[in-house]
Amino acid sequence: MNKLEVKIGSLTLKNPVMTASGTFGYGDEYISLLDISKLGAIVTKTLTMEPRAGNPAPRIWELPYGMLNSIGLANIGVHRFISEKLPILRDYEATVIANIASADVAGYTEVIKILENEKGISAYELNVSCPNVEKEGMAFGADVETLLEVTRRCREAADKCLIVKLTPNVYDIGSLAQAAVEGGADALTVANTVLGMAVDIESRKPRIPSALAGYSGPGIKPVNLAKLYQVRKAVDVPLIGCGGIMNYRDALEYMITGAAAVQIGSGTYKNPRLAVEVIDDMERYLNEKGIDDIDNLIGTMK
């Protein structure tokens, strides 16, 4: 029996450790560094219908407890993903979750329709929260009605497991979680990057041209963990914890709080093997504690 196996809606994962969208490319980049089939799932870089060049440079800024990014959903587009990347991921037997975004509701469903019949994709994760895209991305995830609408339309288009990745940059994340579930989400990822900013006091310019950026790294773990706690109280679907995970202890905090799975994000940049190390350490932890099934750990916060 695989004690790390978890269920996310209709999806059974060999372990609860995924790589977060945007921090693991399309997965094939890491083949020389780790066995990508070992991962619970690879969540792809956000895919849009058309390729996107991304935001003006500079796009990143390092901070003491993480980094700011404003990439602008730079990606190769869904068609090139299918022709160039998906066959490799299938060959390596990776479990793949396609993260998707669009400027309008119809665009989400169009991308889903294109992916729906492709073998090798296990689920969709809707990016409704990327704070880098000035209008569209922010609006979907921050407004109850819009989020309900986009989730419902995607649910109608998708037979595969549907995950909505929430933004933490809202006051009442519970209401938004409820909207996504009402719209038909099988699971929720909690959460995307936290809105952040930095200024150069010499030039008096923001470090990122658009000023506002996404903050990731260990600095946001308490923030997103609190969001997951709030979402756990608001809805009853499986949750995927994301934000600032740098080791198995961080991952377990999310799981004890109520996450059925976790995503490793920008921690991968420093340690490309972080996700597989978390899997190994998690298994060791279960063995040491005499826990024979990780389900017996999820949501057991006292």
Q: Is 130 a catalytic residue?
A: yes
Coil, helix or strand at residue 116:
helix
Q: Measured from the CB atom, is 55 or 95 closer to another protein?
A: 55
Task: Out of 69, 102, 109, 167, name the contact with another protein by CB under 8 A.
Answer: 69
Task: Out of 42, 48, 61, 142, name the contact with another protein by CB under 8 A.
Answer: 61
Q: How far is the CB of 267 from another protein (least distance, A)?
A: 8
Q: How far is the CB of 26 from another protein (least distance, A)?
A: 9
Q: How far is the CB of 184 from another protein (least distance, A)?
A: 31
Q: How far is CA 54 from CA 14, 48, 49, 71, in A?
A: 34, 12, 14, 6
Residue 35 within binding range of another protein, rule CB under 8 A: no
Residue 44 within binding range of another protein, rule CB under 8 A: no
Give me the half-sphere count of Cα atoms (radius 13 Å) on the Cβ side of residue 8: 33
Which amino acid, residue 215? Answer: Y
Q: Measured from the CB atom, is 269 or 285 closer to another protein?
A: 269
Measured distance CA(73)–CA(250) in Å, rounded: 27
Q: Measured from the CB atom, is 61 or 177 closer to another protein?
A: 61
- φ/ψ of 188, rounded to 5, equals -125, 140
CA 186 to chain centre: 14
Between CA 124 and CA 130, with CA 128 as vertex, the angle to 5 degrees is 110
Task: Out of 273, 287, 300, 301, name the contact with another protein by CB under 8 A.
Answer: 273
Q: Measured from the CB atom, is 119 or 204 closer to another protein?
A: 204
Residue 266 within binding range of another protein, rule CB under 8 A: yes
Q: Are 85 and 111 in contact (CB under 8 A)?
A: no
Region near another protein per CB under 8 A, out of 35-43, 79-87, 248-256, 265-273: 265-273
69: its two tokens:
């990014």
Q: Measured from the CB atom, is 81 or 239 closer to another protein?
A: 81
Measured distance CA(56)–CA(12) in Å, rounded: 39
Q: How far is the CB of 57 from another protein (least distance, A)?
A: 5
234: its two tokens:
């608001």
Q: Other C-beta atoms within 10 Å of 205: how many?
A: 11
Q: Which residues are catalytic?
A: 130
Give the binding site for another protein (CB under 8 A). Answer: 22-25, 29, 31-33, 45, 53-54, 56-67, 69, 71, 74, 217-218, 266, 268-273
